[in-house]
Structure 1
Amino acid sequence: MLYIILLMQLHLSAVMYTWSVSYSPETICAFEGSSVDFSCSFEYPYSHTLGTLKWFKPETYQKQDGSHEGIVVYHSNAKETNKLYQNRTVYTNQDKNCSFKLHNVSKTDIGRYFFRLTTNSRYGKFTGPGGINLNVAVLPFRVTVHREKANGHIHEGDSVTLTCGLENCTPKQGPFAWFKNKLLLPHATESELKFSFVSHEDFGNYSCGLKNSNRTLTNETLLDVRYSPKNVEITVFPSGEIQEGDSLTLICKSNANPAVTNYTWFKISRTNVSYVGCSREYSIRVVSQTDDGQYFCIAENDIGYQNSTVLTVTVLKVEEPGHQHFLLAATGALFFGIAVTLVIFCLVKRRTQFATKRLTEQVCVCISSDQRPTATLTEEVYENLRKMSKPEFEENLTNLTYAELMLPPTNTDRPRHNSQEDRLVIYSLVRNNEDH
């Protein structure tokens, strides 16, 4: 029983004489110009009376274990505070709470900070071991590429991690913002951007910063993903229909990293595949029917190769110039023949009309109405008739010309015998060719 009492007294004495300081966090990374909170609590023997309180930072050339006080950052006696930290620190000033805040941190504030307390006892001095390490992040942000392979290039399928960092350290406050080719990646909000299996689509320039902050500017870092040719295709110049005699250029296009070093062209004619060229462009100065067929190209770089889809080239046949000239000549001759026929027809018709008119003028005797003889309907007048022998008459028969004169009916009161007497017919020997 006595033994137990002695143990309890020793334990109580040990508790009453315990010295301790607790820091949180052990390491701080802060942006340059920001404010930093140093969380701290302490214990000291119950029988002691608390004296001075202070925070200090050893110089860079001193031991960083708290054995050398160095620069006084805060002192319960303000006069003891270093000029570099006056008006920049705020102490909590609560019982056994040694927390304080440091404003407007800079690169000169980088170091380890310790809390030290003293009491009225002769040996009443204690410095909390470990301290808090302060690091100051200096802008701008920098993107660091970490790859699975220590050396060599990044290829499709590799595991890659991009880290958003700054000089000295990277604060954990966020969220972070990531940009690819200056475009925001909305789902990337961590300080690291991971690619388990990087692809050619991830190729680009990356930058980072803090979201909704002006601390987002950073130099771009290229994620150089190497890949074999992709999206190989053929473009045709000029586009549209291709006729014999035209010029034609086929261009092989692709995406690749590194760039394509070899191009190969092939032509498919029925079941035959033949090699036709070895440059990025395949040109035909004068297209003919023999160029009709299917074409494809193969693009190759150091990583691999890929072929394009097949392009069908159809060459339209053009009519021969001689045949065109023949058709034009035949058409012209046809129209010329029609025109000549029409002209001849018009001339013949006009000549016929002219001859008929002239003959009529020669044989027609114009008798005016006041010179017409009056006669009865039964009268027949024979004028200038003479007898001739039959042979003479037959001989000159063709030289006689007769004219038929239609006389109007008379006004006599003599009754008409028949309808045939309504007209008076006068036969007159007009002219004999011998009289000329």
Structure 2
Amino acid sequence: MFYIGIFIQLSLSAAVSSFSISYSPRSICAFENSSVEFSCTFDFPYGHTLVVSKWFKPRKDQKQDGSQQGMFVYHTDDAEIHERYMNRTTYANQDKNCSLKLHNVSRKDIGRYFFRFETNYWWGKYTGLGGIDLSIAVLPFRVTVNTQKTNREINEGDSVTLTCNTENCTPTQEAFIWFKNGRLLPKATEQTLRFSSVSREDFGNYSCGLKNSDTTLTTETLLDVRYRPHNVQIINFPSKEIEEGDSLTLNCKSNANPALTNYTWFKISDTNTSYIGYGSKYSLKTVSQKNAGRYLCVAVNDVGSQNSSVIELKVKEHSRLDFLLIATTVLLLGIAVTLIIFCIMKRRKQIASKKLPAEKTSTVTPTEEIYENLRNSLKSEEISTNLTYADLMLPPASSDRPHYSSQEDMTVIYSILSDREETKTIEQI
């Protein structure tokens, strides 16, 4: 009996070993409302007849190793199919092909699926081990940035990978598309976008999606590449000599990420380099010969620094001839202005003096004018009389002229004066 038991056990083991189920793939990621296919093949020993075929999904509270069948997704007997999967499956129904299509998948379908068959022998029952895991991708897609650095800061030269995925999983059976700043990257068709040595040119906003679906595009994700200042240059620099006395402002500009933290200015004289200031601008209110020389600026941020190219400032010295010419011009201009003002004032006085007599004449009546003339004539006569008396001189006693008595002399004089008054009075009338 002992040997018979061993023989039966070995026979059963050999029979069971000839039962097999093969799944492909072992895991599937699908979008909601899409269809998925569980590829499957099976085999059993010669002489067995297939009686029952079924796909099942264990419930959450059951073991997920296939030992507990749970809900039937497909069953040879339609009455055994769970209501959730009714009319949602298509079974291959071919010789030793157990493939199953599940339509209109949703998040409720997430889980592990197993195939099991039964033959006409009581020991001819077999469940495929491992099963197939189904995951549902929850849109929208998102771009994740992966780097080997722990602080998540990406500097120029680092290795970076961008991955296009969804919340639970990412379907890989379709081609992907990538966009940078809204522009299509035609060569990027994989789920991942890799940068072995990222550069400042890779800085930008990235989005992704499925090639044949515009509705799966992600929102933009910034690839923030940090880099030291570059293209440092001094602008507003004079292209020719600048003259003494002029003002000058130099600007230092650069591109950098993160933003620049400092600008430093240096002046090079012979072999000496001296610090002269800081800030993006360097100003000279009055340029002189001592400002002539070579200049450069240094831009600095958290990643590094870079120098501008060296530029040379040439200052033109004023000659004495130029100074005399300027002084003479200023002097002549001052004299001309003074003369113009003087002429204007003199002209105004002349105009004012001409206007005043005209105004007075216009207010005098004819009668008043006659009396005024008479007064003037009388005054002139008084003056003439006085002058006559003043000019009157008697001849000296020793003169050869004949002598008259004083009485006669006085009579003659008064007579002459009287005649003159009458004559003048008649002329005035």
Q: TM-score, normalised by structure 2?
A: 0.67
User: Pairwise mapping of residues 223-372 of structure 1 onto structure 2 (< 5 A)?
Assistant: 223-236=223-236, 244-269=244-269, 272-315=272-315, 323-324=325-326, 326-327=328-329
Q: 1:239 to 1:169 in 2, by over 3 A?
A: farther
- 1:301 partner letter: N
Indicate conservation of the 8 Å contact 1:16/1:47, yes or no: no
Return the offset for 1:312.
3.4
Q: 1:32 to 1:123 in 2, by over 3 A?
A: same
Q: 1:51 to 1:273 in 2, by over 3 A?
A: same
- Give me the whole-angstrom Cα distance separating, in 2, the residues matched to 1:332 and 1:112: 104
- Give me the whole-angstrom Cα distance separating, in 2, the residues matched to 1:322 and 1:38: 102
Q: Which residue of 1 aligns with 2:150?
A: 150
Indicate conservation of the 8 Å contact 1:174/1:190, yes or no: no
Name the stretch that deviates more: 287-296 or 194-203. Answer: 287-296
User: Pairwise mapping of residues 345-424 of structure 1 onto structure 2 (< 5 A)?
Assistant: none
Q: Which residue of 1 aligns with 2:412?
A: none
Q: 1:332 to 1:278 in 2, by over 3 A?
A: closer
- Give me the whole-angstrom Cα distance separating, in 2, the residues matched to 1:131 and 1:161: 32
Q: 1:321 to 1:108 in 2, by over 3 A?
A: farther
Q: 1:32 to 1:248 in 2, by over 3 A?
A: farther
Q: 1:216 to 1:17 in 2, by over 3 A?
A: closer
Compare the two structures and name the one with the higher helix fraction: 2
- 1:209 partner letter: G
Q: 1:296 to 1:183 in 2, by over 3 A?
A: same
- Give me the whole-angstrom Cα distance separating, in 2, the residues matched to 1:148 and 1:331: 77
Return the offset for 1:317.
6.1
- Give me the whole-angstrom Cα distance separating, in 2, the residues matched to 1:19 and 1:213: 43
- Give me the whole-angstrom Cα distance separating, in 2, the residues matched to 1:169 and 1:82: 26
Return the offset for 1:212.
3.8
* SS of match in other structure, 1:275: strand
Return the offset for 1:197.
2.1
- Give me the whole-angstrom Cα distance separating, in 2, the residues matched to 1:122 and 1:39: 27
- 1:64 partner letter: Q
- 1:324 partner letter: I
- Give me the whole-angstrom Cα distance separating, in 2, the residues matched to 1:87 and 1:291: 91
- 2:118 partner letter: T
Q: 1:315 to 1:63 in 2, by over 3 A?
A: same
* SS of match in other structure, 1:105: coil
- Give me the whole-angstrom Cα distance separating, in 1, the residues matched to 2:152 and 2:331: 76
Name the stretch that deviates more: 242-251 or 95-104. Answer: 242-251
Return the offset for 1:63.
0.8
Unpaired runs of 5+ residues, structure 1, are 1-6, 334-436
Q: Which residue of 2 aligns with 1:133?
A: 133
- 1:50 partner letter: L
Q: 1:135 to 1:16 in 2, by over 3 A?
A: closer
Indicate conservation of the 8 Å contact 1:177/1:216, yes or no: no
Q: Which residue of 2 aligns with 1:380?
A: none
Indicate conservation of the 8 Å contact 2:177/2:209, yes or no: yes
- 1:163 partner letter: T
- 1:260 partner letter: L
Return the offset for 1:245.
4.8
Return the offset for 1:258.
2.5
Indicate conservation of the 8 Å contact 1:26/1:133, yes or no: yes
Name the stretch that deviates more: 19-28 or 313-322. Answer: 313-322
- Give me the whole-angstrom Cα distance separating, in 1, the residues matched to 2:58 and 2:154: 45
Indicate conservation of the 8 Å contact 1:146/1:160, yes or no: yes
Return the offset for 1:323.
2.6
Q: 1:16 to 1:302 in 2, by over 3 A?
A: closer
- Give me the whole-angstrom Cα distance separating, in 1, the residues matched to 2:323 and 2:118: 116
Q: Which residue of 2 aligns with 1:410?
A: none
Indicate conservation of the 8 Å contact 1:17/1:46, yes or no: no
What is the aligned-residue identity percentage? 62
Q: 1:325 to 1:149 in 2, by over 3 A?
A: closer
Residues 391-433 of structure 1, C-alpha deviation per residue, up to 9 Å, x if partnerless? xxxxxxxxxxxxxxxxxxxxxxxxxxxxxxxxxxxxxxxxxxx
- Give me the whole-angstrom Cα distance separating, in 2, the residues matched to 1:30 and 1:209: 14
Indicate conservation of the 8 Å contact 1:22/1:128, yes or no: yes
Q: TM-score, normalised by structure 1?
A: 0.66
Residues 244-278 of structure 1, C-alpha deviation per residue, up to 9 Å, x if partnerless? 55443222111222322121111234555332211
- Give me the whole-angstrom Cα distance separating, in 1, the residues matched to 2:13 and 2:217: 59
- Give me the whole-angstrom Cα distance separating, in 2, the residues matched to 1:241 and 1:55: 91
Q: Which residue of 2 aligns with 1:431?
A: none
Q: Which residue of 2 aligns with 1:40?
A: 40
Indicate conservation of the 8 Å contact 1:238/1:249, yes or no: no
Unpaired runs of 5+ residues, structure 2, are 1-6, 336-429
Residues 362-406 of structure 1, C-alpha deviation per residue, up to 9 Å, x if partnerless? xxxxxxxxxxxxxxxxxxxxxxxxxxxxxxxxxxxxxxxxxxxxx
Q: 1:179 to 1:87 in 2, by over 3 A?
A: same
Name the stretch that deviates more: 294-303 or 15-24. Answer: 15-24
- 1:177 partner letter: I
- Give me the whole-angstrom Cα distance separating, in 2, the residues matched to 1:60 and 1:318: 96
Q: 1:245 to 1:331 in 2, by over 3 A?
A: closer
Compare the two structures and name the one with the higher strand fraction: 1
Q: Which residue of 1 aligns with 2:59?
A: 59
* SS of match in other structure, 2:230: strand
Return the offset for 1:299.
0.9
Indicate conservation of the 8 Å contact 2:116/2:126, yes or no: yes
- Give me the whole-angstrom Cα distance separating, in 2, the residues matched to 1:315 and 1:173: 71
Indicate conservation of the 8 Å contact 2:240/2:314, yes or no: no
Q: 1:48 to 1:181 in 2, by over 3 A?
A: same
